[in-house]
Amino acid sequence: MIDFGIITVSDTRTEVTDKSGQYIQTAMTEAGNNFVKKYIVKDDAQQITDAYNQLLTTSCKLILVNGGTGIARRDVTIDTLEPKFIKVIPGFGEYFRRISVDDIGLKALVSGAAAGITDSDQICYLLPGSTNACKTALEQIILPDLEHLIKEITK
């Protein structure tokens, strides 16, 4: 069982309308993991940073961020959080875009999906805000390899 936290980045979503955050929480707990905390923040670097910093101080070994990874000016998740990683996992974003092209076509290439290791030895995934994208990432990449990655970080 792995402790995890969620950050939803959106200017419009609420606890009621946050379908991606709800999906992530349900899928992760159904896979036997332990939900710790969720934040819903605006597409704002300071709010994103504050939520991220809060999760760094918890028992979470996994932080799942959804939203704000596109190419619009308001999409600041990647620019805000990726520089905070002590190590980047480039293969995640590359593979996510590759399998997403099969699903949604070339528009997947603008996704800024990324992953890295925090300075608190947590894995942090930066996912697009669409529920379908979160489902693709969780089912095809994150859950199948999660225990292996946790072991690699902590050895």
Q: Which domain holds residue 15?
A: 3-154
**In this structure, how many other beta carbons lie within 10 angstroms of the beta carbon of residue 125?**
25
Residue 105's pLDDT band (cuts 50, 70, 90):
confident
pLDDT averaged over every residue in the chain: 95
**Contact call for residues 84 and 132 (beta carbons, < 8 A):** no
108 pLDDT above the threshold of 90: no
The predicted pLDDT at position 98 comes to 94
pTM of the model: 0.96
69 pLDDT above the threshold of 90: yes
Q: What angle do CA 94, 84, 70 make, to 5 degrees?
A: 45
What's the whole-number mean pLDDT along residues 91-99? Answer: 95
The predicted pLDDT at position 111 comes to 83
Which residues, 6+ apart, have CB-to-CB distance to 155 below 8 Å?
A: none
In tens, the pLDDT along 27-51 reads: 999 999 999 999 999 999 999 999 9
Residue 4's pLDDT band (cuts 50, 70, 90):
very high
Q: What's the total number of domains in the chain? A: 1
- Give DSSP secondary structure letters for 6-17: EEEE-SS--TTT
Provide the CATH number for the domain around residue 23.
3.40.980.10
The predicted pLDDT at position 112 comes to 86
Handedness of CA 104, 123, 115, 6 (dihedral sign): positive
